[in-house]
Chain A
Amino acid sequence: MKLEIDNDDLKHGLLGLVMGIVEIVRDTLRIQSVKRMESGTLTGVQIEKLGNALIELDRTIDKIKEEQGIAEAVRSVRDGLDDLVNRMVDTVADPAGVRKMGEESAFSRKIAGGKR
Chain B
Amino acid sequence: MMEKGLYLYCVVAGNETRGLEIKGIDGQPVLTMPIDDLTAVVQECQTPIANDDMKILSDLVLIHQAVIDLAWERFQTIVPFSFGTVVVERDGKSKEENLREWLERESETLKEKLRRLEGKAEYGVQVSWEPAKMMEKITRNDKEVRSLQEEIHSKGTGTAYLLRQKLERLVKERMEVAADAYFKEFFQGVRGQVEEVRVEKVRKEDPSRQMLMNLSCLTPKGETSKLGEFLDRITKIEGFHVRFTGPWPPYSFVNF
Binding site for B on A (CB under 8 A): 30-31, 33-34, 37-38, 44, 47-55, 105-115
Report the separation of the CA atoms of residues A110 and B158 in the bound assembly, to the nearest whole angstrom. 55
Q: Is the CB of A111 within 8 A of B160?
A: no
Contact of A52 (CB < 8 Å), options: B51, B88, B158: B158
Q: A107-B87, A112-B57 are in contact. Are A30 and B165 (CB under 8 A)?
A: yes
Tell me the residues in window 155-173 of chain B with beta carbons closer than 8 Å to chain A beta carbons: 155-162, 165-166, 169
How far, in Å, is A42 (CB) from chain B's closest CB? 10
Tell me the residues in window 10-57 of chain B with beta carbons closer than 8 Å to chain A beta carbons: 47-52, 57
Q: Is the CB of A115 within 8 A of B52?
A: yes
Contact of B162 (CB < 8 Å), options: A37, A105, A106, A112: A37
Q: Is the CB of B166 within 8 A of A52?
A: no
List, in ascending order, chain B residues with CB within 8 A of A108's CB. 3, 5, 47, 86-88
How far, in Å, is B153 (CB) from chain A's closest CB? 15
Binding site for A on B (CB under 8 A): 3, 5, 47-52, 57, 83-88, 90-91, 93, 95, 98-99, 101-102, 155-162, 165-166, 169
Report the separation of the CA atoms of residues A53 and B93 in the bound assembly, to the nearest whole angstrom. 69
Q: Is the CB of A109 within 8 A of B165?
A: no
List, in ascending order, chain A residues with CB within 8 A of B95's CB. 106
How far, in Å, is B214 (CB) from chain A's closest CB? 15
Q: Which residue of A lies closest to B101 (CB)?
A: A106
Report the separation of the CA atoms of residues A42 and B54 in the bound assembly, to the nearest whole angstrom. 56
List, in ascending order, chain B residues with CB within 8 A of A44's CB. 159
List, in ascending order, chain A residues with CB within 8 A of B160's CB. 51
Q: Is the CB of A106 within 8 A of B98?
A: yes
Q: Is the CB of B48 within 8 A of A113?
A: yes
Q: Is the CB of B85 within 8 A of A109?
A: yes
How far, in Å, is B114 (CB) from chain A's closest CB? 20
Contacts A/B (CB < 8 Å), 20 sampled: A34-B165, A34-B166, A44-B159, A48-B158, A48-B159, A49-B158, A50-B158, A51-B162, A53-B158, A54-B162, A106-B87, A107-B88, A107-B102, A108-B47, A110-B48, A111-B50, A111-B57, A111-B83, A112-B50, A113-B51
List, in ascending order, chain B residues with CB within 8 A of A48's CB. 155-159
List, in ascending order, chain B residues with CB within 8 A of A52's CB. 157-158, 161
List, in ascending order, chain B residues with CB within 8 A of A54's CB. 158, 161-162
Q: Is the CB of B159 within 8 A of A105?
A: no
Contact of A34 (CB < 8 Å), options: B47, B51, B99, B169: B169
Task: Give 9 closest A-B pairs by Cβ, nearest first.
Answer: A51-B158, A106-B98, A52-B158, A111-B84, A48-B158, A51-B161, A110-B48, A106-B90, A51-B162
Q: Is the CB of B159 within 8 A of A111?
A: no
Contacts A106-B98, A113-B50 known; 10 new A-B pairs at CB < 8 A: A34-B165, A37-B162, A51-B157, A52-B157, A106-B87, A106-B99, A108-B3, A110-B48, A112-B57, A113-B51
